[in-house]
């Protein structure tokens, strides 16, 4: 293990005093409410963790919250890093290498996304069935930490087993849920209507600016992934409305309670 990663891992383990996280959750823009449901939380601000990137975007809390949720030991990464902040790919995916080092085997990843599929509305939740990497980069380029190139299989990027469990959790709670393909762009501009038409044509149902780098690294480590998009707006040109980050945050905030309930039920089923 690289020295930096080892120091990060040892710092976090010392704070967790024997607690072993099994499930990690990455929360997207305005979707951090699930962290409040954790019992006996241990909170570790990113700024205190050696070698951990430091947060900069409003709406992103920037802390690890560990504790029990749905009878499992969970670790919430409340605040993520994006390419659009001008971060390096290494920074974006560093937390995923850290959860792997801590022994996490399941990753739940959430994000805010624009709805491309015409049946989607703001406030809908979409189980991510698959993704399209439109970032033009891949965090696995050149190999990871000098360990050589690994041709990572992505046929189960979002595990069928976990998608079925998400479906079952939604059905049990009578939460309406959609399914679809998430396409990632680097941002920070939203898309043009022409880009959205093109993305629909190549098979995307939702568009966002995150998630794909983290999932690539999680699959590299053989961590099983479940993904959920919160549709915060209709993508450019689907409606005549202009897009705004404030709206994305507001719809995320209004939807996070439903999302937190769903994830709690889901985690209980794991």
Among 53, 95, 114, 227, binds ligand HPA (CB under 6 A): 114
- Kindly report the number of other CB atoms within 10 A of residue 105's CB atom: 15
Nearer to ligand HPA, 160 or 244 (CB): 244
Region binding ligand HPA by CB under 6 A among candidate stretches 100-108, 158-166, 202-210, 261-269? 202-210
Most distant pair of Cα atoms in the chain: their distance: 53
- Kindly report the number of other CB atoms within 10 A of residue 243's CB atom: 16
Subset of residues 231 to 260 that bind ligand HPA, contact rule: CB under 6 A: 232-233, 235, 243, 248
Q: Identify whether the C-beta of residue 110 lies closer than 8 Å to the C-beta of residue 57.
A: no
Region binding ligand HPA by CB under 6 A among candidate stretches 43-51, 110-118, 127-135, 139-147? 110-118
Shortest Cβ contact with ligand HPA: which residue? Answer: 114
Q: Identify whether the C-beta of residue 116 lies closer than 8 Å to the C-beta of residue 205.
A: yes
Range 166-182 burial, b when 16+ CB lie within 10 A, else e:
beebbeeeeeebbebbb
Residue span 11-40 as binding mask against ligand HPA, x where in contact by CB under 6 A, dash where not: ------------------------------
111 three-state secondary structure: strand
Nearer to ligand HPA, 65 or 116 (CB): 116
- Residues 47, 64: Cα–Cα separation, whole Å: 10
Residue identified by tokens 């383990």 is: 13
Region binding ligand HPA by CB under 6 A among candidate stretches 94-102, 162-170, 201-209, 218-226? 201-209
Q: How far is the CB of 218 from ligand HPA (least distance, A)?
A: 20
Binding footprint of ligand HPA on the chain (CB under 6 A): 112-114, 190-191, 207-209, 232-233, 235, 243, 248
């Amino acid at each position: 293990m690289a020295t930096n990663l080892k120091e990060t891992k040892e710092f976090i383990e010392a704070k967790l005093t024997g607690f072993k996280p099994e499930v990690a959750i990455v929360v997207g823009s305005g979707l951090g409410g699930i962290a409040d449901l954790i019992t006996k939380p241990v909170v570790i601000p990113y700024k205190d963790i050696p070698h951990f990137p430091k947060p900069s975007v409003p709406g992103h809390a920037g802390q690890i919250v560990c504790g029990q949720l749905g009878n499992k030991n969970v670790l919430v990464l409340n605040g993520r890093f994006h390419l659009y902040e001008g971060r390096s790919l290494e920074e974006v995916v560093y937390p995923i290498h850290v959860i792997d080092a801590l022994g996490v085997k399941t990753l739940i990843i959430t994000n805010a996304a624009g709805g491309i599929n015409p049946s989607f509305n703001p406030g809908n939740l979409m189980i991510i069935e698959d993704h399209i990497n439109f970032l033009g980069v891949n965090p696995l380029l050149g190999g990871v930490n000098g360990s050589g190139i690994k041709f990572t299989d992505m046929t189960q990027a979002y595990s069928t087993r976990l998608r079925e469990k998400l479906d079952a959790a939604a059905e049990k709670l009578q939460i309406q849920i959609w399914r679809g393909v998430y396409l990632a762009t680097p941002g920070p501009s939203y898309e043009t209507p022409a880009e959205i038409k093109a993305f629909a044509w190549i098979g995307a149902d939702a568009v966002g600016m995150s998630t794909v780098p983290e999932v690539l690294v999680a699959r590299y480590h053989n961590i099983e992934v479940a993904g959920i998009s919160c549709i915060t707006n209709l993508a450019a040109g689907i409606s005549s409305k202009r897009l705004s980050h404030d709206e994305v945050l507001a719809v995320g905030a209004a939807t996070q309670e439903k999302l937190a309930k769903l994830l709690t039920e889901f985690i209980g089923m794991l």
